[in-house]
Structure 1
């Protein structure tokens, strides 16, 4: 056997045994070694026909590969914009279009559930993307305090707030202090703010809340 083949097979066996599939797959890691860091994966996902759910001449919408709720999508511009830090007033129409597209996707996915639309203050993935996420948080991929707090604290910046900030200042000027501390906060229910020690106990509690839109609330 050729030496390089032996090394490749050995690496593959190592990845199969050690990669945590709850966050990234073996395939993701293998591709990262060939095409760059895993944080660049969104650009590739935009061309993945199995992930894309909608698109137009300005945007692409994909399903989040590891959704943190029953419905979780990412709205991304076709134009390369690394993050909110690179957004200016010239991008306001794009930001508004992203918000509108997100609302359309949410309505199409489920007319009854509440959704939020926004950005992580410090995104882990490169390329601007807006999250469209249902508020049931019913997903096996939601496993850690970091996962939870990234969507239920000030770490998650509402899309309308971003648009208003850019309108007023000409750029995104985050007022989120100590973002890392937000991810380490105690677990709190996003509806009633009750604290919990573990994600499993929090998940059991969440289902007790009605997270449908007011017009669909059961009497």
Structure 2
């Protein structure tokens, strides 16, 4: 009797498969395997464990299937190792399209960057388009957001996180960085008409020690706020020679307490020291000091 019922069931499935081949599929699993199926229409995953309760005799075929918590583990081990997965449209359609598991288990679309924005110099110094000079010790790149007509950064290939990480053995490296910066000024077409400064920010926003080589015209659309201005025109900007001297004298570079407050000072012209109310007014004033 059970063989006859099974034949009728398979005939019905085969007939439906011919009419709806995209909805029906039959999958045989070995004992211990699991099949994960995904509904294409809804964003959730349905997982079915093995059902090893297929009838092995006509008498057993008439018995109702036991619930999982009622199953006899000894009997399970003795039963047939293969089982049939139900062929409902939802299950068969999911089994027919296994690649959809990834779509039904979405992950965040956010792509992690190589690092925090403060680590950006590590990327820029490796970019040939940004490099204007390099040797075995340092590389010079164009500042991505220049605060003047000419603004370069001299970076050592050796990673040094900040001024506080400098040690006496770095003195020769800093001297070499200054020499390279001076060479950049000498090669600049405006090197004879514009004044330049070489120095470091006391508390830089970007990780990795870098020497600023910047012209003092400050004629740039990237100079937009008080922080930008005061970071280059107050004691927040430490001259390269002063950093080297401090390192040779003390064996380290110290930053004074309250240095960050210098960024909040009023806008004073770096040439005549006249105070200006806003950045636009300051920029207009700076034009009067540009070489004719």
Q: TM-score range by the shorter chain?
A: 0.7 to 0.9
Is 1:44 aligned with 2:120?
no
Is 1:149 aligned with 2:267?
no
Q: Which residue of 1 aligns with 2:289?
A: 209
TM-score in terms of structure 1 length: 0.81
| Cα drift, residue 107 of structure 1 | 1.7
Q: Which residue of 2 aligns with 1:179?
A: 259
Q: Which residue of 1 aligns with 2:275?
A: 195
* Structure-2 separation of matches of 1:4 and 1:147: 45
RMSD over aligned Cα, in angstroms? 1.9
1:1-219 aligned at under 5 Å gives the runs: 2=103, 8=109, 33-109=112-188, 110-112=190-192, 113-174=194-255, 176-210=256-290
SS across alignment from 2:283: helix
Higher relative contact order (CA 8 A, sep 6+): 1
| Cα drift, residue 49 of structure 1 | 0.8
TM-score in terms of structure 2 length: 0.61
SS across alignment from 1:193: coil
Q: Any stretches of 5+ residues in structure 2 without a counterpart?
A: 1-99
* Structure-1 separation of matches of 2:225 and 2:207: 21
SS across alignment from 2:284: helix
Cα 1:144–1:93 shift into 2, 3 Å: same
SS across alignment from 1:34: coil
Q: State the aligned residue count.
A: 189
| Cα drift, residue 173 of structure 1 | 2.0
SS across alignment from 2:174: helix
Cα 1:208–1:169 shift into 2, 3 Å: same
In the TM superposition, structure 1's runs of 4+ consecutive aligned residues that sit over 6 Å from their partners are: 3-7
Q: Which residue of 2 aligns with 1:24?
A: none
* Structure-2 separation of matches of 1:99 and 1:63: 16
| Cα drift, residue 207 of structure 1 | 1.1
Per-residue Cα deviation, 1:24-62 (whole angstroms, up to 9, x for no partner): xxxxxx7xx321100001011111011000000000000
Cα 1:196–1:93 shift into 2, 3 Å: same
SS across alignment from 2:170: helix
| Cα drift, residue 7 of structure 1 | 6.4
- Higher alpha-carbon Rg: 2
| Cα drift, residue 104 of structure 1 | 0.6
Q: Any stretches of 5+ residues in structure 1 without a counterpart?
A: 12-29, 212-217
